[in-house]
Amino acid sequence: MGIATGLYLQRDGWQVTVIDAKGPGEGTSSGNAGMFAIGHITPDAMPNLPAKVPAMLLDRESPLSIRWRYLPRLIPWLAKCVSACTTEQATRSTQALAGLLGDAMASYKPLFQSAGANDLIRNKGVLYVYRNSKSFAAAELEIELKREHGIRMEILDANGIRELVPALAPVHSHGVLYPDYAHTVDPFVLTQTLGVRLKKAGAKFVRSHANGFSYEGNLVSAVKTTDSTHCADIVVVAAGAYSRPLAAALGVRLPLDTERGYHVTFADPGIALDLPVLAADEHFLMTPMTPGLRSGGLVEFAGLEAPPNPALHTMLASQTKKLLPDLNTENTSNWMGYRPAMPDSLPVISRTPKHSNAFLAFGHGHIGLTSAAATGHAIADLAVDRSPQFDLRPFRAERFLNET
Ligand X SMILES: Cc1cc2nc3c(=O)[nH]c(=O)nc-3n(C[C@H](O)[C@H](O)[C@H](O)COP(=O)(O)OP(=O)(O)OC[C@H]3O[C@@H](n4cnc5c(N)ncnc54)[C@H](O)[C@@H]3O)c2cc1C
Q: Is 340 in the site for ligand X (CB under 6 A)?
A: yes
Q: Collect all residues with Cβ–Cβ distance below 8 Å to 380 and sequence separation of at least 6.
A: 5, 8, 9, 11, 12, 386
Task: Give the residue, chosen from 367, 373, 378, 382, that forms a contact with ligand X under the rule CB under 6 A.
Answer: 367
Q: Point out the residue whose Cβ comes nearest to ligand X.
A: 368
Task: Give the residue, chosen from 7, 9, 16, 35, that forms a contact with ligand X under the rule CB under 6 A.
Answer: 35
Q: Is 22 in the site for ligand X (CB under 6 A)?
A: yes
Closest to 338 in 3D by CA, of 375, 364, 312, 319: 364
Closest to 107 in 3D by CA, of 392, 379, 329, 331: 379
Q: Is 395 in the site for ligand X (CB under 6 A)?
A: no
Task: Give the residue, chosen from 10, 29, 295, 352, that forms a contact with ligand X under the rule CB under 6 A.
Answer: 29
Strand partners, 114: none
Query: Helices marked H in 12-157 — which ranges?
Result: 49-58, 71-84, 87-102, 104-115, 133-138, 140-148
Closest to ligand X by CB, 351 vs 366, is 366
* Interacting positions 251-270 with ligand X (CB under 6 A): 261-263
Query: Helices marked H in 202-297 — which ranges?
Result: 244-249
Q: How far is the CB of 87 from ligand X (least distance, A)?
A: 25
Q: Is 209 in the site for ligand X (CB under 6 A)?
A: yes
Q: Is 21 in the site for ligand X (CB under 6 A)?
A: yes
Q: Are 89 and 344 in contact (CB under 8 A)?
A: yes
Q: Are 344 and 93 in contact (CB under 8 A)?
A: yes
Q: Are 53 and 273 in contact (CB under 8 A)?
A: no
Task: Give the residue, chosen from 293, 366, 373, 394, that forms a contact with ligand X under the rule CB under 6 A.
Answer: 366
Q: How far is the CB of 225 from ligand X (least distance, A)?
A: 7
Q: Is 204 in the site for ligand X (CB under 6 A)?
A: no
Q: Is 33 in the site for ligand X (CB under 6 A)?
A: yes
Q: Is 369 in the site for ligand X (CB under 6 A)?
A: yes
Task: Give the residue, chosen from 9, 16, 19, 101, that forms a contact with ligand X under the rule CB under 6 A.
Answer: 19
Under DSSP, the state recorded for 330 is: S
Rounded Cα distance, 317 and 286, in Å? 11
Q: Is 234 in the site for ligand X (CB under 6 A)?
A: no
Task: Give the residue, chosen from 7, 9, 16, 37, that forms a contact with ligand X under the rule CB under 6 A.
Answer: 37
Q: Is 1 in the site for ligand X (CB under 6 A)?
A: yes
Q: Is 295 in the site for ligand X (CB under 6 A)?
A: no
Helix, strand, coil abundance in the chain, percent, nearest 5: 40, 25, 35
Q: How far is the CB of 240 from ligand X (least distance, A)?
A: 2
Q: Is 34 in the site for ligand X (CB under 6 A)?
A: yes
Closest to 168 in 3D by CA, of 336, 325, 364, 11: 325
Interface contacts to ligand X, rule CB under 6 A: 1-2, 19-22, 26-29, 32-35, 37, 209-210, 238-240, 242, 261-263, 285, 296-297, 337, 339-340, 362, 364-370
